[in-house]
Amino acid sequence: MSSEKSFAAGSPAPGPVPKDQVRLYSMRFCPFAQRTRLVLHAKGIKFETINIHLKQKPDWFLEKNPEGLVPLIETPAGEVVNESVITSEFLDEMYPEKKLLPATPFGKAQQKMMLEHFSKITPHLFKISSARRKGDDVSGLEAELKEKFTNLNEHLVKRKTKFFGGDTITFIDYMMWPFFERLGMFEVQHCLDHTPELKKWTERMLEDPAVKAIMHSTEDHKTFYNNFLDGKPDFDYGL
């Protein structure tokens, strides 16, 4: 697709997925879709993107995914897969040339356990920003976040590795990254001050070509997010 502009209700349905690629239904500022996009970029998979206007979803999108969520992957064979982690694992298996998940059952299980723990951190970030917006005292919530970051930091210290799955980037790093890219947007960047290894991990991630290729600045994230919270998201912001 030549344009990144979002498709809204009433827009014509895209044709079949071209034979040699996959199609991603996405939204440019969605942290979950960013996971799938990171995997697509990191593995060098040929894909096209259809961004969806999530406040006015086209019927043809809802037919593919009645839950109405992005990310969604569609293959030329008509297979449709949703949920960020599931789409990412699906792509990793479908294109086995550069595997992001470890080969061993235990290695895979370790990453999935870590992801399960991490899935409890993401709602906490949204909780902090919504409490702050209401003018509530967020010091208790921030203390909890620091504790969660300390656990992640400990993980890196114990393993003595640069990334969460070893000395090179793997699946788990990409699944966690979109939320770290948004620490400034959530105004919790200072919560990394006492977790030096985790902070170093964020710096290393910023050097990764896939991360660099699709990242937004904190300023852009903030603008999008504030408009979103005000009920006026601009899915085409910056285009």
Burial class (CB in 10 A: 0-12, 13-18, 19+), 135: exposed
Stretch that binds ligand GSH, among 62-70, 103-111, 131-139, 150-158 (CB under 6 A): 62-70
For tokens 């970051």, what's the residue? 149
Q: Which of 25, 32, 177, 235 binds ligand GSH (CB under 6 A)?
A: 32
Stretch that binds ligand GSH, among 27-35, 88-96, 160-168, 223-231 (CB under 6 A): 27-35
CB of 170 to ligand GSH, least distance (A): 18
Instruction: Tokens for 6, please give them.
Output: 């979002």
Question: What distance in Å separates the CA atoms of residue 40 and residue 215, rounded to the nearest whole number?
Answer: 14
- Per the residue annotation, which of 17, 30, 52, 156 is the catalytic one? 30
Question: Going along the chain, which residue ranges are E strands?
Answer: 22-26, 47-51, 72-74, 80-82
CB of 162 to ligand GSH, least distance (A): 26
End-to-end distance of the chain based on CA atoms, in angstroms?
15
Q: Is residue 70 near ligand GSH by the rule CB under 6 A? A: yes
Concerning whether 191 is annotated as a catalytic residue, the answer is no
Q: What is the largest CA-CA distance in the chain?
A: 53
Q: Is residue 198 near ligand GSH by the rule CB under 6 A? A: no
Q: Check if the beta carbon of residue 199 is closer than 8 Å to that of residue 146.
A: no
Q: Which of 22, 24, 27, 188 binds ligand GSH (CB under 6 A)?
A: 27
Q: Is residue 83 near ligand GSH by the rule CB under 6 A? A: yes
Q: Which residues are marked as active site?
A: 30
Binding site for ligand GSH (CB under 6 A): 27, 30, 32, 54, 68-71, 83-84
